[in-house]
């Protein structure tokens, strides 16, 4: 129906079909809070938890190591939909 109507809501309703609202962009989401880190038994392993953010579909966990010369390089650790991550220690 979308192809035939060109998105005209009135025309769609005339044939007794429901009309959906157009998708909306969420914009910026809040920053997660309540970050907690517990170091594991293996070097580099840690359990990371945080409070969830409303409407968030996933999280990116990054880590940063400060080099001796002051440079900082962020690297992606995990991508996921949970509010907790266990790093592998690798």
Burial of 10 (0-12, 13-18, 19+ CB in 10 A): exposed
- The pTM of the full predicted model, rounded to 2 decimals, is 0.57
Q: Is the CB of residue 23 less than 8 Å from the CB of residue 52?
A: no
Going by pLDDT thresholds of 50, 70 and 90, the confidence category of residue 34 is very high
Total domain count, the chain: 1
Instruction: Examine residue 31 and state whether it is found in any structural domain, yes or no.
Output: yes
Instruction: Examine residue 53 and state whether it is found in any structural domain, yes or no.
Output: yes
Q: Is the CB of residue 85 less than 8 Å from the CB of residue 61?
A: yes
Q: Is the CB of residue 1 less than 8 Å from the CB of residue 17?
A: yes
Instruction: Examine residue 16 and state whether it is found in any structural domain, yes or no.
Output: no
- Reported as a single tens digit per residue, the pLDDT across 37-79 is 898 888 878 888 999 888 888 888 888 878 889 888 888 888 8
Q: Is the CB of residue 19 less than 8 Å from the CB of residue 68?
A: no
Position 16 scores a pLDDT of 72
Q: Work out the mean pLDDT of the chain and round it to a whole number.
A: 80
Instruction: Examine residue 37 and state whether it is found in any structural domain, yes or no.
Output: yes
Angle at 32 between CA 27 and CA 34, to 5 degrees: 160
Which residue segment(s) compose the domain that 80 sits in?
A: 25-90
């Amino acid at each position: 129906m979308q192809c035939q109507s060109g998105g005209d809501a009135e025309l769609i309703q005339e044939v007794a079909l429901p009309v959906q609202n157009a998708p909306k962009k969420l914009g910026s989401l809040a920053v997660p809070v309540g970050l907690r880190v517990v170091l594991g038994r293996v070097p580099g392993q840690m359990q990371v938890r945080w409070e969830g953010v409303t409407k968030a579909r996933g999280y990116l966990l990054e880590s940063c190591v400060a080099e001796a010369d002051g440079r900082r390089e962020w690297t992606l650790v995990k991508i996921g939909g949970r509010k907790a991550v266990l790093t592998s220690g690798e």
